[in-house]
Amino acid sequence: MQERGINSTFKKIIYESSEMVFLADDTYPYNIFYANESFEEFIGESLKERNLVGLGLDINAYIFKEELILTHGDKDYSFRLELPQESSSNYFLFYKGKEVKTHGLPGKREIQQFFKNGLDLIAIGQHDFLTYLNAAVKPILGYEPAELMNTSLCPFLHEEDLEKIRSFWKSKRKQDELGFFESRVKCKDGSYKYLEFSVQFTAEYFYLIGRDKTESYSESVKTKRLNQLRKKGSELARVATWSYDPKSSSFEYDEVANLIFEKKVDLQIKFENYFSENLSNKKEEKKLEFELPEFDLGVVAEYHDAIQGRGFWLGVLSDLSEKKNIERSGELLKNIILNSPDPMLVARPDGEIFLCNEEAKKLLGVEENRKFEHLSELNVLFEESDEWKDWIDTPANEEGSRRFSTLLISNLGKQLTLEVAAKSLQEKEESFVVLSFRNISEKVTLEKTLEESSDFLMNLTEQVPGGLYQLVLDQNGKMSFSFLSRGIASVLGLTQTEIEKFEDISGAISRVHPNDLPQVIMTSVASARKGEPWQCQFRVKDNSDSEGYRWVLGAARPQALENGDMVWYGYLTDISQQKEFESKLDEARRTAEKASQIKSDFLSMISHELRTPLNAISGSVYSLLQENPNTSQKSALNTINFAVENLIIMINDLLDFQKIEAGKLTIEKAPFNLRNLVEQVMKGLSFHARDSKNDLQLHLSEGLDMRVNGDKTRLSQIMNNLITNALKFTHQGNVDVSIKLQELKNGRAKVYFEVKDTGIGIAPENQTKIFNDFDQVKPTFSTKYGGTGLGLSITRKLLNLMGSTIALESEVGKGSRFFFELELEVSDQEVQVEKPVIGSTQDFSKLHLLMAEDNDVNALVLGKIIKKWGYTFDRVGDGAQAVEILKDNQYDCILMDIQMPVMDGFEATQEIKKNIDTPVIALTAAAKLEIMEKIEECGFDGFVAKPIDAAELLKKIKEVISEKN
């Protein structure tokens, strides 16, 4: 070993070290001039060049380091390095050499290699300046590493990113930890690249790794921007995005664009040519919009300079055919609104009018050609101005549409109620409010009227006396009230709480008086079955606790519903008072009836009482007259006879009166000769005229000798009465009877009757009175003139029955004139001449009669009369005897009294008629109508009233016998 200025310490190290040691020159190529055994063993033997360059060592890089790593044969060896201390020495000493065990980790050299040749930019620095950069700086940013060595990082960062990175730097540096940031970094050519950095701070250094993310960044910017563009364009139906990279002159399209081009083949070429030739270099314009009209294509292009020098065009393509369709449909929609038959208006939220159709203008009273620009123009129509704000504010607060009503004054000055429907609308970031109007004035008025009438009905329902109800009978047979007015409570004696729960019919039924219940149920069932109105009077409980009842009238009308249910609309009303009144009335009626009955009984009694003695008188006079009395006796007997006849007339009057009162009198219609009848009446009264010293004259007009149909008996009764009165109330004067034929037409004759006297006359105040029942001018008159006061009353009533009216003209002291007019049917039948019974073929010379009479006087008188006729008879004292005697004996006729002891005439006759058909004549003094009716019922063949007129009785006997044969 050469000395070469090696000191003793070095020598000691060299000789004693078991580790690798070697010495190298300090000049290139740094030859190894000494190496120990250990070095030779591990490294030296395999070395071709025994110098540091051969070992791959750049000594300068280690010049200040105490330790260096030497890689050889895939192994790392660490050495300590000692520089020569003295100026004369010119070598490096490498000692303490030993293999570095890396345990699988890359060796230092590998790491250096990795640093040097890594694709990512690796830099080391202090504070903000760089102390080391690897070679990746060149391909990434275009600089040589040396260019950036010891330069600050800041000038290379994009100024927009700088601030952010500064604060990051500050915060991370103190913490000695790992951090990440991104930044655009300036390249040597002035363009920028986008790098992602991770940085590790230690106390002194920062270690930076940067990766070029420019491509993916611009890609993401592109995507982001395209999305924005697409979003903006998405209002159009078909919007496609595209990009153009000027560097590579290449276009990229999305799927929609491909679809558009698929349809129009030339379009893509045309578009690309047009764009790249004319527009792609107009970067400074940033944004371009153009159309290719013949292809219906709209283009928006935007130059995006995401990173300087790495810009690209982005854009949207819109299929304008779609847009045009949309525009067309937009136009159509606008027209629809403008021509809508409903008033419509579209306004902006500040009230500016966007669209307003004619109908709305008309409704709001805007003149046809006037511009209507703002809703505030309507202020004059409102009661308070700016009410239109509510129109547009209301929907703004609501999600959907809202309806409300507004009052405004029309241009005709009328108040209108408008229903406004409003909905807000968001269109292309613009807000609108769509308003439609409806004139609901009429509806409102109608609703008001309806409400009023419903109130009125409700009020009516509540106010009517009694209560109203609605009752439903459903298909299951259940009956329940579906409506009850308040009044029902008071009618049924319920409290208001009770009525609220009152639904089922059974509640109502339970309140009905048990005696009235069957009637209520039966009438209800009948109403339901026949669908006829229901009406019923019944009693209901006064109230829940009381025992008392009140009378109620219920009435209802049923209605069948379509679903099969039956509904009654009805009312209940309290008729207790009416019932009380009715019962009083009933009592009064019964009293009146009783009184009338008494009157009737009285009349009957009188006639009975009168007839019995008259019977006796008449019978006796008759028999006395048959016994050849002398002249004076005969005269007296005649007077008695006249008086009796008068009395009979009177009784007959009473009978007639009663008959008319009871409505039992009928007017017969049989043919008779008018003239003959009048003459007969006159003839009958001539004696009376003579007696009263009056001149009785008949004046007949022409044409009265004719047959008419009518009741000749009643007509002669009328004339008899009037003439008798005239004769009675005239003394030594004239009584003129005039009959005139006034008209003869269509088989009918109008005949005028008049009885005129020159008698005492009738005072005006009595002229109506005299036609009333039992009325006479003065009761005292009856004593003087006789009479019952019934004659004129009967006359009036008979004429009424014949369709005529009696009239009177009279003056006191001068006389009276009674007159009437009768319309009579002219008869074309022969007048039936009554065939006299006597002279018929029947032989009446010998008859055997049975007399049933309890009264001995009557029996005596009647017996005498029968004997006078030359007939024989048997007498029995009661009905039972009559029945008995008839079992063994035969008679031609039976004269049967009615009122008899043991068995009366009715019963006896019924018994008799069961076995034999012998004619039976009733003899009765009772004038009662019922008796007449009963006589007929019991099978009598005829009747003769007591007092018996002998001639009449004989006539009747012959009549009944003739009829039987």
Q: Which residues bind ligand ADP (CB under 6 A)?
A: 721, 725-726, 729, 757, 759-760, 762, 770, 776-777, 781-782, 787-793, 816
Closer to ligand ADP by Cβ: residue 707 or 728 = 728
The least CB distance from residue 608 to ligand ADP, in Å, is 21
Write b or e for each residue in 615-642: b if 16 or more Cβ atoms lie within 10 A of its Cβ, otherwise e. Answer: bbbbbbbbbbeeeeeeeeeeeebeebbe
Nearer to ligand ADP (CB atom), residue 157 or residue 755 = 755
| Closer Cβ to ligand ADP, 13 or 770, answer by number | 770
Contact 788, 752 (CB under 8 A): no
Report CA-CA distances (Å) from 658 to 54, 539, 560, 651, 712: 179, 41, 53, 11, 20
Quote the least distance from Cβ 770 to ligand ADP, whole Å. Answer: 4
**Closer CB to ligand ADP, residue 701 or residue 782?**
782
Residue type for 224, please?
K
The CB density around residue 953, as the number of other CB atoms within 10 Å, is: 20
Q: What is the 3-state secondary structure (H, E, C) of 465-532?
A: CCEEEEEEECCCCCEEEEEECCHHHHHHCCCHHHHHCCCEHHHHHCCECCCCHHHHHHHHHHHHHHCC
Which residue lies nearer to ligand ADP by CB, 454 or 800?
Answer: 800
Dihedral sign for Cα atoms in the order 148, 150, 151, 156:
positive
Task: Say how many CA atoms lie within 13 Å of 228 toward its Cβ.
Answer: 9
CA 722 – CA 736 distance, rounded (Å): 11
Residues 38 and 18 sit within 8 Å (Cβ to Cβ): yes
Q: In the complex, what is the shortest distance from the CB of residue 817 to ligand ADP, in angstroms, rounded to a whole number?
A: 9
For ligand ADP, the closer of residues 777 and 957 by Cβ is: 777
Give residue 143's identity as a one-letter amino acid code: Y
For β-strands 297-304 and 942-945, DSSP reports them as unpaired
Interatomic CA distance for residues 912 and 216, integer angstroms: 147
Pair 732, 696: CB distance under 8 Å: no
Residues 6+ apart with CB under 8 A from 865: 619, 622, 623, 948, 950, 953
Residue closer to ligand ADP by CB (options 686, 772) is 772
Query: What does the alpha-carbon distance between residue 279 and residue 555 come to, in Å, rounded to a whole number?
Result: 99
CA torsion through residues 861, 864, 868, 870, sign: positive
Closer by beta carbon to ligand ADP, 513 or else 769: 769
Residue 717 CB, shortest distance to ligand ADP, in Å, is: 12
Residue 527 or 694: the one with the smaller Cβ distance to ligand ADP is 694
Nearest CB to ligand ADP, comparing residues 62 and 819:
819
Residue for token pair 């409806």? 438
Q: For residues 599 and 814, which CB has a smaller minimum distance to ligand ADP in the complex?
A: 814
Of 721 and 924, nearer to ligand ADP (C-beta) is 721
Report in angstroms the alpha-carbon separations of 231 from 12, 235, 300, 638: 83, 8, 13, 146
The residue to which tokens 């009184």 are assigned: 595
Pairing of strands 312-319, 239-245: antiparallel
Give Dmax over CA atoms of the chain in angstroms. Answer: 237
CB 638 to ligand ADP: min, Å:
23
Residue in the structure block whose two tokens are 């002035």: 190
Minimum distance from CB of 822 to ligand ADP (Å)?
19
Element spanning 7, H or E: none
* Coil/strand/helix, residue 366: coil
Closest distance of CB 811 from ligand ADP, Å: 11
Cα–Cα distance measured from residue 384 to residue 408, given in angstroms and rounded to the nearest whole number: 10
CB of 579 to ligand ADP, least distance (A): 43
Question: Min. distance of Cβ 773 from ligand ADP in angstroms?
Answer: 9
Rounded Cα–Cα distance for residues 324 and 127 (Å) = 63
Nearer to ligand ADP, 757 or 821 (CB): 757
Smallest distance from the beta carbon of 653 to ligand ADP, in angstroms?
Answer: 7
Q: How far is the CB of 760 from ligand ADP (least distance, A)?
A: 5
- What's the closest the beta carbon of residue 754 comes to ligand ADP, in angstroms? 12
Measured between alpha carbons, how far is 212 from 139 in angstroms, rounded to an integer? Answer: 10
Minimum CB separation of residue 862 from ligand ADP in Å reads: 30
Q: Smallest distance from the beta carbon of 785 to ligand ADP, in angstroms?
A: 6
Q: Which is nearer to ligand ADP, 424 or 725 (CB)?
A: 725
Burial class (CB in 10 A: 0-12, 13-18, 19+), 70: buried
Burial classification of residue 442, based on how many CB atoms lie within 10 Å of its CB (0-12 exposed, 13-18 middle, 19 or more buried): exposed
At closest approach, how far in Å is the CB of 658 from ligand ADP?
Answer: 16
Looking at the Cβ atoms of 569 and 781, the one nearer to ligand ADP is 781
Residue nearest to ligand ADP (CB): 787
Q: Give me the count of residues in the chain.
A: 965
Closest CA to 264 of 317, 207, 206: 317
Residue type, 636: A
| Amino acid (one-letter) located at 379 | N
Q: Closest approach of Cβ 714 to ligand ADP, in Å?
A: 15
Torsion angle, alpha carbons of 251, 256, 260, 265, to 10: 50
Question: Closest Cα to residue 895, out of 953, 962, 837?
Answer: 953
Sign of CA dihedral 545, 549, 555, 561: positive
Q: How far is the CB of 650 from ligand ADP (least distance, A)?
A: 8
In the structure encoding, which two tokens stand for residue 40, read together? 């030779």
Q: How far apart are CA 660 and CA 666, in angstroms?
A: 8
Report the nearest approach of ligand ADP to the CB of residue 657 (Å): 10
Residue 953: half-sphere exposure toward Cβ, Cα within 13 Å: 29
Identify which of 654, 652, 737 has the alpha carbon closest to the alpha carbon of residue 688. 737
Between residues 343 and 787, which has the closer beta carbon with respect to ligand ADP? 787
> Closer CB to ligand ADP, residue 401 or residue 720?
720
How do 430-439 and 344-347 pair as beta strands? Answer: antiparallel
Whole-angstrom distance, CA of residue 703 vs CA of residue 300 = 130
| CB-nearer residue toward ligand ADP: 96 or 659 | 659
